[in-house]
Every structure is written in C-alpha cells, then in structure tokens.
Amino acid sequence: MGADLSVPSGIVCAMAELVERVDEEDHVLAVVERSEAIRRRWLHRVATTVCRDPEGRFLVHRRPDDDSRFPGRYNWLLGGAANVGETYEAAAARELAEEIGVRASPRFVFKYLCRGVISPYWLGVHEATVTQLITPDASEVAWHTWLTEAELRDAIRSPNFVPDAREAFTRYHALTDPPERPRVE
C-alpha cells in the first residue's frame, strides 16, 4: 500500500501564481507573486488572444460575477498572465485551452505597455481563427457570443466592458484596418 498523500483536515494548500517582474523595456528583473506585482504596480506580462470565427466575427465573453478582476464585465480578449519562462505566444495558447477549451497557435500581432486600471503590465495581443467547438471553463467565462465588427465597436463603448480592453481595441484596429484609399472621381 502506498503512502497517504492526502492533505490533513484544516490545512489549505494554495500555490501562489508566479510571474516575471519586468522593466519598461520588458526585460526580466525578478520572479514575484502576481498578487504582489499587482499590489505594488510592478510590470509583468499578460498574453491575450483576439478570437475570430471563419466569418470574421469576434468572440466576446462576460467574466464571472465572482472573478477577482473585472467581475461581470465583458471582454473581447481572452488571456492572462504569462508564467515564469513562458513566451507571450505560449501563454496565449495555454490561456485559450484553459478558458475556452480550444487548442490553437495564436499569431502574435503586437505588444504594448498597458497602464491598466488595476496595475500596469506588458500586454501581448495575438489572433486566432477558431473553428473548434468552444467549451468555456465557467470559472473563466460566464457567457459568450460572436459579434460582427460593427456590433463589437458599439458594445465596447459600454461601461460594462473591461476598461483595458478599449485601448487594446483601438490599437488593434489601428494596426489591422487597411488604410483608406483615396477616392478617384
């Protein structure tokens, strides 16, 4: 018979989420707990993905009401903190699998220093076309739908949207929208 590996009653095991504290150039300074990075407003890395379906619609979701960050708010980005030693791309892929059950290789689009409502962080934004069935983790995604670009542009103005997502939306469209062509008359 093997050793008893159960946790004795009354003992809570909680592992801290470790992230890399980075500087203004996105160079690693130290490994810290994410909660400390947020509390002290230290820069760390967050990777997100813009999910689109084959018709070009955007996936929008609502965060659970009991979430510690932006409870009940809507977002068009899926993601979270990059683990220690994890690239933005690997973190984006891991977060897609964890949050909506999708295995994909998100394509890096850009990163920027987001001053953030809760804390500043480097935000890596990726894209993925989702053709698989979405199976959301209820602890991460309370509700989801697909919106056209026009519908998303209207929705993102709502005060119920995650504030940091608005800046990411503006930056994303500045990079991905084709420039206006001059009219020939």
For residue 166, give the CATH number of its domain: 3.90.79.10
Residue 8: inside a domain, yes or no? no
| Sign of the Cα pseudo-torsion (45, 30, 40, 98, in order) | positive
From the list 60, 101, 94, the residue with the least C-alpha distance to 79 is 94
Residue 24 near residue 112 (C-beta atoms within 8 A): no
- The domain tally of the chain equals 1
Residue 13: inside a domain, yes or no? no
From the list 49, 48, 76, 58, the residue with the least C-alpha distance to 160 is 76
Domain that holds residue 92: 18-176
Residue 181: inside a domain, yes or no? no
What pLDDT, on a 0 to 100 scale, did the predictor assign at position 69?
Answer: 85
Residue 6: inside a domain, yes or no? no
- Residue 26 or 69, more confident: 26
pLDDT digit string, tens, across residues 124-182: 999 999 999 999 999 999 999 999 999 999 999 999 999 999 999 999 999 876 555 44
Residue 5 near residue 15 (C-beta atoms within 8 A): no
The amino acid at 155: A
Predicted TM-score (pTM) of this structure: 0.86
Residue 109: inside a domain, yes or no? yes
Residue 110: inside a domain, yes or no? yes
Is 60 exceeded by the pLDDT of residue 9? no
Residue 5: inside a domain, yes or no? no
Residue 57 near residue 146 (C-beta atoms within 8 A): yes
